[in-house]
Amino acid sequence: MVTTDDISYTKDAAASGEKASWPQNSDSSSARIETVENAPPHNGTTVDKETERAVLRKLDYRIVPMVMWVYLMNMMDRVNIGNARLFGLEEDLNLGEGQFQLAVSVLFVTYCLFEAPSNMIIKRLRPARYLAGLTVAWDFVATFSAFVNNFAALVACRLLLGLFEAGFFPGVVLYLSMFYSRRSLALRIAYFYGTAAASGVAGGLVAYGISFMDGDHGWRAWRWIILINGLPTIFTGIVIPLVLPNSPETAKFLTEEDKINLIRIHGSQVGSARNLREMEWPDVKDGLRDWTTWAYCFALFPMLTMLYSFVVFLPTIIHGLGTWTATEVQAMTVPVYAVGAIVYITCARLSDLTQRRGYFIMGSIVSSMAGYGMLIAEKGSAVSYAGTFFVSIGIFVSAGISFAWVPTNNPRYGKRAISTGLHLTIGNSSGVASPFLFKGSFVPGYAASIGMLGVSLCLNILLHLHFKRQNRLRDEGKFDYLMEGKTEEEIEAMGEKSPRFRFAT
């Protein structure tokens, strides 16, 4: 644990250029990773906006592009099976009815089982190296999926893919929280998660180009799609430890003064109470008892059901709208994903600036419902194709901003850890069921999608109204009595229960 004796963070030290004394581990292979968020409380010195922006720029230039690129590779490896389906995968592997959907869904069995345990391991290892190991492992599996010759081999590869991919998304969120404070973290998660939409653009373009290789060297196009998409990720995994630092302590691109300022930024936004930075079991139990934790989880489940089914089946959906060739369909998926990505990043930035989450989530869910309605109406290929844009916008914005809403409203570390963990685990379990949403005629799947999104909309409206009411009551001083007889640190330790705390709505 970092103590106030371990690091100098006074105003005089910063002004004089004196070095911040980060604790040095005598054992370089130590499993303990110190984070800025777990640094000691600040001494009241604040960081001006320009200095804060300068530090964030350094982090953004070094960290964000790499995690975005790796997640792009991750999503492309995961959804390639949807593109491969158009180019003969089912026929070559003699897949029977429902077997394709089963092959898609089994990935999420191991994904959900190992998501939380993997996040416990990363805390005991060097994060950058651990993420690199996961990247190389999943990509070897994804790449060699091009050589499968039957259903059993395909399922085995999908199970292994889920196992190795399980730790990546929560691991990166944890990694980013080591460097970014709560008011700057949400937008960085948006950049990171936004590449899920970008993967559709890249995957569609790559599949379009590779489709012309059908028959080369006796291989069908679907095998080339999987193989060529996978190879760059292996090299990316090797580069990760060279680019990403394991912690702020080992970030050579940060000066000692930058590290001092990072501590001040976290201290001013998180507070000084111990339970805001460290795990306290009463806070974990409180998270399990809080109805909003479960409302968040079950509101996310329908969103991710739509997301996972959409990214896998979009080529098939578009193919059924007209008489286009498989190659033309791949090209038509690109603008759908591109619009979804652009709108998502724009909304995430606005959400961060206004600290409003619910409005964007609710509006985007309505967008998806409208899109599915256009697909059900079957008013012509142009209207149906336009509907896919509304769906794309809705699913990426709603799920992405939901990821930021949970940690924003849970400042106590223990409660935040259990809430975000359950949020991701229950949400991602939707991947098991999502492939079976579209079997045979897609119309029943569209109708079911609208129904599920309706449930999510109601839950998000409930959360939004609850947080608005809580803020109003606090503005009126209705809970001020809770602070009576408490010290400043005890008031901070109340976290979101403090009358001074205001929820993001």
Q: Do 327 and 260 share a domain, yes or no?
A: no
pLDDT at 440 over 90: no
Q: Do 411 and 263 share a domain, yes or no?
A: no
Q: Residue 80 falls within a domain, yes or no?
A: yes
Q: Residue 362 falls within a domain, yes or no?
A: yes
pLDDT computed for residue 275 by the predictor: 62
Q: Residue 42 falls within a domain, yes or no?
A: no
Boundary residue ending a domain (236, 270, 304): 270
497: number of Cβ within 10 Å:
15
What is the overall mean pLDDT for the chain? Answer: 81
pLDDT computed for residue 277 by the predictor: 63
pLDDT at 22 over 60: no
Q: Do 88 and 129 share a domain, yes or no?
A: yes
In degrees, rounded to 5, the angle at the alpha carbon of residue 397 between the alpha carbons of residues 206 and 474 is 155
Confidence of residue 384 (pLDDT cuts 50, 70, 90): very high
Q: 417 or 402: whose pLDDT is higher? A: 402
Q: Residue 19 falls within a domain, yes or no?
A: no
Let me know: does 406 contact 281? Beta carbons within 8 Å.
Answer: no
pLDDT computed for residue 120 by the predictor: 63
- Tell me the C-alpha distance between 374 and 367, whole Å: 11
Q: Do 425 and 504 share a domain, yes or no?
A: yes
Q: Do 325 and 195 share a domain, yes or no?
A: no
Q: Do 237 and 329 share a domain, yes or no?
A: no
Tokens 């499993």 belong to residue: 31
pLDDT, tens only, 29-50? 333 333 444 444 444 557 778 8
Integer angstrom CA distances of residue 195 from 14, 62, 189: 37, 17, 10
pLDDT at 28 over 90: no
pLDDT computed for residue 276 by the predictor: 67
In degrees, rounded to 5, the angle at the alpha carbon of residue 124 between the alpha carbons of residues 118 and 126 is 95
Boundary residue ending a domain (218, 238, 270): 270
Q: Do 249 and 392 share a domain, yes or no?
A: no
pLDDT computed for residue 193 by the predictor: 81
- Tell me the C-alpha distance between 84 and 207, whole Å: 8
Q: Do 318 and 343 share a domain, yes or no?
A: yes
CATH number for the domain including 304?
1.20.1250.20
Q: Residue 16 falls within a domain, yes or no?
A: no
Domain that holds residue 91: 47-270
Q: What is the mean pLDDT of residues 310-324?
A: 84
Q: What is the mean pLDDT of residues 372-399?
A: 93
Tokens 């899920």 belong to residue: 196
Boundary residue ending a domain (243, 270, 297): 270
Q: Do 369 and 501 share a domain, yes or no?
A: yes
Where helices occur in 178-220 by DSSP H, the ranges are 182-210
DSSP letters spanning 348-373: HHHHHHHT--HHHHHHHHHHHHHHHH
Q: Do 251 and 291 share a domain, yes or no?
A: no
pLDDT, tens only, 184-198? 777 788 788 878 777
pLDDT computed for residue 301 by the predictor: 94
Q: What is the mean pLDDT of residues 386-406?
A: 92
pLDDT, tens only, 127-170? 888 999 999 998 899 898 999 999 999 999 999 999 998 888 87
Burial label, 293 (beta-carbon count in 10 A; 0-12, 13-18, 19+):
buried
Q: Residue 405 falls within a domain, yes or no?
A: yes
Q: Which of 203, 129, 162 is nearest to 429 (CA)?
A: 162
Q: Residue 275 falls within a domain, yes or no?
A: no
pLDDT, tens only, 84-127? 888 889 889 998 878 988 998 898 889 888 876 776 677 667 88
Q: Do 312 and 255 share a domain, yes or no?
A: no
- Tell me the C-alpha distance between 248 and 56, whole Å: 12
Global pTM reads 0.76
- Tell me the C-alpha distance between 278 and 112, whole Å: 25
Q: 20 or 269: whose pLDDT is higher? A: 269
Domain count, the chain: 2
Q: Do 389 and 437 share a domain, yes or no?
A: yes
Q: Residue 498 falls within a domain, yes or no?
A: yes
In degrees, rounded to 5, the angle at the alpha carbon of residue 406 between the alpha carbons of residues 401 and 410 is 145
